[in-house]
Amino acid sequence: MINISLNNEPKKIACDTLLSDALIQWGFGEIKIAVAINSEFVPRSTYTDRRLQDGDQIDIVKPVGGG
């Protein structure tokens, strides 16, 4: 298990977890979101390649419509 931060909340996840798998576990599988890891935007096309590391700080933002 590794320790990460998800929107400033501590979480434990399995080692070698892909970002795409973690997003599904956290309920974001089909939702349009933006993800930053350690303050860097992560392109959606790399979610299935990006392995989460111990100490990663993950921020997930849902788009807000407005006018």
For every one of its 67 residues, what pLDDT tens digit does the chain have, with 9 covering 90 and above? 999 999 999 999 999 999 999 999 999 888 889 999 999 999 999 999 999 999 999 999 987 776 6
- What the block records as the tokens of 56 is 């990663």
CATH code reported for the domain at 2-61? 3.10.20.30
Residues in the chain: 67
Residue 5 is encoded by which pair of tokens? 């931060």
Check if the beta carbon of residue 58 is closer than 8 Å to that of residue 5. Answer: yes
In this prediction the pTM is: 0.86
